[in-house]
Amino acid sequence: MKTIIVPVDFSEQSEYALKVAASIAHKQKAEILVLHMLELNEAMITSTEGFHPEQTVFLIKVAEKRLNEFLDKDYLKGIKLTPVIKHFKVFGEVNEIAEKHNAELVIMGSHGTDGLKEIFIGSNAEKVVRFSEVPVLVVKNELPDFKIDDFVFACNFKSESLGAFQKARDFASKLGAKLHMVYINTPGDNFLSDNDAYEKINKYLEMAGAGQEVTIYNDYSVEKGVLNFSDKINADLIGIPTHGRKGLSHFFMGSIGEDIANHSKIPVMTFKI
């Protein structure tokens, strides 16, 4: 892992993401691209409507100063940092920067949930997930020593998720984590007998060319199953495939991806299908 992108807005949550990136960068000898997006519109960078380019330059200089101060942290010492400031808040640019610099990971801070209010949905983190072709790690809490021992990867074992599984397996290998692959079996039309479930899983693993232990976990919903299984094994990270630009409501089954991202107490990592 050579390059990590961390979008920051100077919030507490974006510093949580930066600390996780620093922890990974120290271990992987990786560079961190710190991305800040200014909320300027077209009118603000032209001479129309009484706003002049000189003022835009001033705002960019202010942002540069604030970003440099934000990055003056002891935990970032010894890490190669590259600040990047973009004029517009266009989340597709995160993916363009990832492609340009061959980045392998984006780390985002998110508020998660606050009572009944679902903050992750429609948030900046959700928008980055939607556009990013590379895996996105969503962090909601401060994790001083980001160490992944047990990594749960929830899968529906359809062929479309094979690429996501390979990336999850590679990520687990790089961090020295144990990958726990799980299939959530739910009541109703989606219920599979053990024989049918293992037949489906074996076909998938054969296509993947992987020898991987898989747990069949029974629960009332996929979301509850993923969260309960992760809690049961004391997991450090949950991985889920996503269709990306179709939005979080099109995760591997229904809208459970957004529910997991909102309600998980541990970091969640998305892998583009």
Q: For residues 141 and 151, state if they share a domain.
A: no
Last residue of a domain, one of 87, 118, 146: 146
Residue 228 Ramachandran class (φ > 0 left, ψ -120 to 50 alpha, else beta): alpha
Query: What local confidence, expressed as pLDDT, does residue 249 receive?
Result: 47
Contacts of residue 98, defined as CB under 8 A and 6 or more positions apart, other chains included, come to 5, 106, 132, 133, 134
45-63 pLDDT tens trace: 455 555 566 666 777 788 8
Last residue of a domain, one of 126, 146, 166: 146
> What mean pLDDT is reported for the chain?
84
Q: For residues 6 and 74, state if they share a domain.
A: yes
Query: What local confidence, expressed as pLDDT, does residue 33 receive?
Result: 95
Q: For residues 2 and 111, state if they share a domain.
A: yes
| 96-105, 205-214, 257-266: the lowest-pLDDT one | 257-266
Query: What local confidence, expressed as pLDDT, does residue 254 receive?
Result: 44
Q: For residues 6 and 131, state if they share a domain.
A: yes
Q: How many domains does the chain have?
A: 2
Q: For residues 164 and 186, state if they share a domain.
A: yes
Q: For residues 99 and 169, state if they share a domain.
A: no
Which pLDDT band holds residue 141 (cuts at 50, 70, 90)? Answer: confident
Query: What local confidence, expressed as pLDDT, does residue 94 receive?
Result: 86
- For residue 177, give the DSSP letter: P
Last residue of a domain, one of 146, 165, 180: 146
Q: For residues 109 and 181, state if they share a domain.
A: no
> Where in the sequence is the domain holding 175, given as residue range(s)?
147-272
Give start and end residues of each alpha helix (H) in the chain.
12-28, 53-70, 92-100, 124-131, 162-175, 194-208, 222-232, 256-263
Q: For residues 140 and 18, state if they share a domain.
A: yes
| 86-90, 196-200, 242-246: the lowest-pLDDT one | 242-246
Q: For residues 87 and 4, state if they share a domain.
A: yes
Query: What local confidence, expressed as pLDDT, does residue 273 receive?
Result: 83
Helix (H) / strand (E) containing 217: strand 214-218
CATH of residue 205: 3.40.50.620
Query: What local confidence, expressed as pLDDT, does residue 53 receive?
Result: 64
Q: For residues 94 and 10, state if they share a domain.
A: yes
Structure tokens at 187: 């009541």
Q: For residues 191 and 92, state if they share a domain.
A: no
Q: For residues 163 and 105, state if they share a domain.
A: no
Largest CA-CA distance found in the chain, in angstroms, rounded: 71
